[in-house]
């Protein structure tokens, strides 16, 4: 795995939402590929782990799904962002920025010389 980072649930959900926001409706495989590409292949992601996360988001009403046909004629379940999902992106992004800003201050601390 080297320097690749494990993905944990909360961040994965936000990545999925953000991916759907930029790409529009997409199937699970497409989302997984896109997340990997966006991370610059620095994420070790078992594609399968995406599905429980998708189910959770769907239960929460952030995304909706329906079966469709892919560009190379394969049946696939497509997910799309809902209005609640867009709001959730804003909220989660704000939380995330706040957290990283706080953490950045700690990391920037220097030993008194």
Q: Which residues bind another protein (CB under 8 A)?
A: 27-30, 33, 46-49, 51-52, 55-56, 58-62, 70, 72, 74-77, 84, 88
DSSP, res 43: B
Residue closer to another protein, measured from CB, 4 or 102:
4
We find the least distance from the C-beta atom of residue 112 to another protein, in angstroms, to be: 45
Residue closer to another protein, measured from CB, 70 or 100:
70
Structure tokens at 94: 């704000």
We find the least distance from the C-beta atom of residue 103 to another protein, in angstroms, to be: 26
Nearest Cα to Cα of residue 4 among 44, 38, 37: 44
We find the least distance from the C-beta atom of residue 99 to another protein, in angstroms, to be: 20
Query: Radius of gyration over alpha carbons of the chain, in Å?
Result: 17
Angle between helix axes 9-23 and 28-38 (nearest 10 degrees) is: 100
């Amino acid at each position: 795995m080297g320097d690749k980072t494990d993905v944990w649930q909360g961040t994965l959900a936000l990545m999925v939402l953000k991916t759907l926001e930029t790409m529009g409706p997409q199937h699970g495989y497409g989302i997984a590929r896109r997340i990997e590409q966006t991370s610059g292949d620095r994420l070790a992601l078992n594609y399968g782990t995406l599905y429980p996360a998708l189910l959770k988001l769907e239960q929460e009403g952030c995304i909706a799904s329906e079966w469709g046909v892919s560009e190379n004629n394969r049946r696939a379940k497509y997910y799309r962002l809902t209005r609640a999902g867009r709001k959730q992106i804003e909220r989660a992004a704000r939380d995330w920025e706040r957290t990283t800003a706080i953490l950045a201050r700690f990391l920037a601390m220097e030993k008194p010389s």
